[in-house]
């Protein structure tokens, strides 16, 4: 694959999508308002940024089959964070130095939408390097830098697993963090640049203390409510998939002293979280699926999706995640609005938003299909517990003050995302209801239940 006569090209990828996307949209599990591939495979969110008045979300994509393959970058954009359109494929592995365009990030560089990504090729001694591509037409097409790879090797002492660059602006310079490992411990390598083309290694931003995994994927640095955070997907940290490291970053030394960490999402189908700086707020998307899972939608020609956007905040050392207000634009018919939880019997849909308010910090919300329970969310003894058939139950403490309790959920054909008590505990899962209806029932001291049908957020056919 790593030769000038590569099989892959942007033109071929877009032709494949044009040929297959309409049929995929007609399949019963095709998501209504989440970003999913027009056809083929999707994993990590990439390149999140705002440029030219639009939000841009890229993702790892293999358009030719609903299984992982040589990675391309798919692309969707939005003017309002609620309604999206598919854009042409942004990157294909079409250069001699890459057999796959792995994960990375994006930025607006003086009006130019700029991507930084990992070029991957297992056939090379240095299998992962960092590269740049720019768009001069608002994200329709991208030109790869003549200087690629702009970071041609990992730092001395680090392993050849060296991927997923995250770029951000710090004063008059650009900073970039890359996931890697040294001495069998996960770490994040930090670089700085004046022009995104020429990078200097600044040092190790932070690393595992021995208990935070053997390699760090998808590092994503951000500041939320004055708190420095590094989101990572640690490999080899048993029982944990995506965590947020809380600490203090010193831009002069390039070091971040870690104070504590928190699991981002307790669900089994959440990985590779990435953030977007939206001026006065930070937004986050995650991959709404997981490795080594069955993907029933493969039979329909697609697999994988991204979560809805989540607005981040930090309160008393806790990371909170909440759906942004823009998603209210998707609301259609009111399906329930009552102080009687029995009103939820009329919520018989495959796509809706649900809010259950309780007068006390106890109660339960159960989602089910014709076969039985899909997901149970239970609040008791100061914690939120989540249980699915065939998966271990998980719990999270609810330590922050809250007036009673609230469970908020977004259901979209084959997915459920739950937010408890203002996003203090979150749970994401893929479900495949037998009858394509997700029913719900609430118990406990219910104050109010509300539900709204949510409409299709996408154009019928991708560009």
Residue in 428, 414, 233, 234 with CA at minimum distance from that of residue 323: 428
Distance from the Cα of residue 116 to its chain's centroid: 17
Catalytic residue among 44, 121, 228, 350: 44
Residue in 354, 351, 363 with CA at minimum distance from that of residue 456: 351
Annotation marks residue 346 as catalytic: no
Give the burial class of 440: count Cβ atoms within 10 A of its Cβ; 0-12 exposed, 13-18 middle, 19 or more buried: buried
The sign of the CA dihedral 123, 128, 134, 140 is positive
Is the peptide bond prior to 172 cis by the omega test (within 30 degrees of 0)?
A: no
Is residue 233 within 8 A of residue 254, CB to CB? The reply is: no
Residue in 134, 158, 144 with CA at minimum distance from that of residue 49: 134
Catalytic residues: 44
């Amino acid at each position: 694959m790593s030769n000038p006569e590569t099989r892959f090209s942007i033109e071929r990828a877009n032709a494949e999508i044009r040929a297959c996307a309409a049929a995929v949209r007609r399949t019963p599990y095709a998501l209504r308002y989440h970003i999913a591939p027009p056809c083929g495979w999707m994993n990590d969110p990439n390149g999140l940024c705002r440029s030219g008045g639009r939000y841009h979300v890229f993702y790892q994509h293999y358009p030719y089959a609903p299984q992982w393959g040589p990675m391309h970058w798919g692309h969707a954009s939005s003017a309002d964070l609620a309604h999206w359109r598919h854009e042409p494929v942004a990157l294909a592995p079409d250069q001699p130095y890459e057999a796959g365009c792995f994960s990375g990030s994006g930025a607006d560089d003086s009006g130019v939408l700029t991507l930084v990504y990992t070029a991957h090729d297992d056939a090379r001694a240095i299998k992962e390097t960092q590269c740049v591509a720019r768009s001069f037409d608002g994200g329709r097409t991208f030109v790869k830098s003549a200087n690629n790879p702009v970071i041609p090797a990992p730092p001395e002492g680090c392993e050849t697993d060296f991927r997923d660059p995250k770029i951000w602006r710090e004063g008059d310079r650009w900073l970039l963090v890359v996931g890697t490992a040294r001495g069998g411990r996960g770490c994040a390598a930090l670089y700085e640049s004046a022009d995104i083309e020429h990078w200097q290694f600044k040092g190790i931003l932070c690393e595992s203390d021995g208990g935070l995994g053997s390699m760090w994927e998808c590092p994503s640095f951000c500041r939320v409510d004055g708190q420095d955070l590094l989101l990572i997907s640690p490999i080899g940290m048993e029982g944990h998939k995506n965590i947020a490291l809380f600490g203090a970053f010193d831009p002069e030394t390039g070091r971040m002293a870690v104070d504590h960490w928190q699991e981002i999402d307790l669900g089994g189908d959440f990985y590779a979280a990435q953030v977007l700086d939206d001026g006065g707020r930070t937004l986050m998307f995650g991959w709404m699926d997981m490795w080594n899972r069955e993907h029933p939608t493969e039979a329909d020609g697609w697999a994988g999706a991204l979560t809805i956007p989540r607005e981040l905040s930090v309160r008393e050392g806790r990371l909170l995640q909440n759906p942004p207000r823009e998603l209210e634009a998707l609301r259609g018919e009111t399906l329930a609005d009552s102080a009687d939880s029995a009103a939820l019997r009329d919520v018989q849909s495959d796509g809706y938003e649900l809010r259950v308010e309780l007068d006390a910090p106890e109660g339960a919300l159960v989602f089910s299909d014709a076969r039985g329970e899909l997901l149970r969310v239970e609040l008791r003894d100061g914690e939120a517990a989540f249980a699915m058939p065939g998966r271990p139950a998980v719990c999270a403490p609810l330590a922050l003050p809250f007036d009673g309790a609230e469970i908020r959920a977004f259901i979209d054909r084959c997915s459920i995302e739950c937010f408890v008590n203002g996003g203090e505990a979150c749970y994401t899962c893929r479900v495949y209801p037998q009858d394509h209806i997700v029913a719900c029932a609430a118990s406990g001291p219910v104050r109010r239940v509300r539900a709204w049908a949510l409409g299709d957020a996408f154009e019928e056919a991708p560009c």
